[in-house]
Amino acid sequence: MNRSRWPVRALWILTGVLTVPAAVTGLLFPEIYRGLVAAELVPGAVSQDLMSAVAGGALPVLAFADRRGRPKVQLMALGILGYLFYAYGIYSIERTYNGFYLVYLAVFALSFWGMVYTALELRADGPRRARLPKGVRVLSASGALLQPLIFYPLWTAMLLPLMRTGEQIDSLYSVFVLDLCFIMPAFLILAVLTFRGRWPGLVFMPALYLLGFTLIFSLALGELFKPLFDVPASALSLWSSVLLSSLFLVLGGLHLWKLDLNPGGGAARRTRTPPPQAADVDARPGPGSGSVPGAGAEGSRIQ
């Protein structure tokens, strides 16, 4: 089945085209956040705009690089869309009502549906099988599992006092919503699936690591920008953000590098011939069923 890739690629391009002018304007004219963003948070908004401008510019490039259907290019686009969903989710939820607010909403919506569409297309027309060396698989899954183990207790501990008093904070409440409802569940689910060698975990984990890298590196840049706005920088926040973003970059890059998509199935993919039942990513022995040959080999787990 040969389907045009233009619909999903057009979605990437549109998202990038809307993102770049909004991000560049915030980067060059941070006064658009005056009265809408707390003074101590403006450096973070500017650093986020810098990352968003780069991310928005990368999407059209990836769209044209994906002309021949490259799964790893699609995964990079998926990670960038995830970053934009988070970044413009903050502006949308925090009610940043400047002249670009409707653009923020548009990027928030387009990036979300772009992620959905890209993931569905990759699952339907992408590689049917995936293989990752056991050591890399365990390392990648362990790194991803750290995020929910750290941030679920941390954010919950910060929310409980607010729940007792009924206090409504004025800034950054969007982080609780986005992290607890979207990002941490994604890390948790994909970590478990990667541990088990399942297709969604093996394939989608690098995109999630790219999302995490861009978000945390933006925080590191924000610390560097603080002196420009007469806001004291924190060395602890700077170096913790640098180290965590570096961890995301290394784990995501290693996972993507070692990921073998559709191992041994090149000819089958070129002819669009359905693979044998035993090699299908959805093939799993159920209760009372026979075992799948080779399914227990750690070095060649699929799915």
Tens of pLDDT, residue by residue over 44-79, are 999 999 999 999 999 999 999 877 668 999 999 999
Sign of the alpha-carbon dihedral angle for 263, 195, 242, 105: positive
Would you state the pLDDT for residue 290?
Answer: 40
- Cα separations in angstroms, 118 against 80, 263, 288: 12, 22, 36
Comparing CA positions, the residue from 85, 76, 13 lying closest to residue 48 is 85
Residue 288 has pLDDT above 60, yes or no: no
Q: Which helix (H) or strand (E) holds 237?
A: helix 235-258
Mean pLDDT of 267-275: 43
Tokens of 282: 């959805």
Residue 248 has pLDDT above 70, yes or no: yes
Q: How many residues does the chain have?
A: 303
Q: Which residue has the higher pLDDT, 13 or 5?
A: 13
Would you state the pLDDT for residue 264?
Answer: 62
Comparing CA positions, the residue from 172, 173, 247 lying closest to residue 216 is 247
- Calculate the average pLDDT of the chain: 87
Would you state the pLDDT for residue 284?
Answer: 39
Q: Which residue has the higher pLDDT, 290 or 107?
A: 107
Residue 301 has pLDDT above 70, yes or no: no
Question: What does DSSP assign to residue 295?
Answer: T
Residue 206 has pLDDT above 70, yes or no: yes
Residue 27 has pLDDT above 90, yes or no: yes
Q: How far apart are CA 74 and CA 65, in angstroms?
A: 9
Comparing CA positions, the residue from 100, 117, 20 lying closest to residue 59 is 20
Tokens of 52: 């968003």
Which range, of 167-176, 209-218, 262-271, averages the lowest pLDDT?
Answer: 262-271
* Largest Cα span, the chain: 68
Neighbours of 267 (CB within 10 A): 8
264 torsion bin: left (phi>0), alpha (psi -120 to 50), beta (else): left
Residue 289 has pLDDT above 50, yes or no: no
Would you state the pLDDT for residue 3?
Answer: 59
At 146-201, the pLDDT tens digits run 899 999 999 999 999 999 999 999 899 999 999 999 999 999 999 999 999 999 99
Which residues have C-beta within 8 Å of that of residue 150, sequence separation ≥ 6? none
Alpha carbon dihedral 62, 65, 68, 70, in 10-degree steps, equals -60
C-alpha count within 13 angstroms, C-beta hemisphere, residue 142:
6
Comparing CA positions, the residue from 79, 78, 16 lying closest to residue 53 is 16
- Cα separations in angstroms, 201 against 124, 129, 192: 16, 12, 8
Question: What does DSSP assign to residue 261?
Answer: E
Comparing CA positions, the residue from 214, 236, 210 lying closest to residue 223 is 236
Residue 286 has pLDDT above 50, yes or no: no
Would you state the pLDDT for residue 279?
Answer: 36
pTM here is 0.85
- Cα separations in angstroms, 30 against 35, 103, 223, 282: 11, 16, 16, 50
Residue 269 has pLDDT above 60, yes or no: no
Q: How far apart are CA 231 and CA 8, in angstroms?
A: 41
Cβ burial of 279 (10 Å; 0-12, 13-18, 19+) is: buried
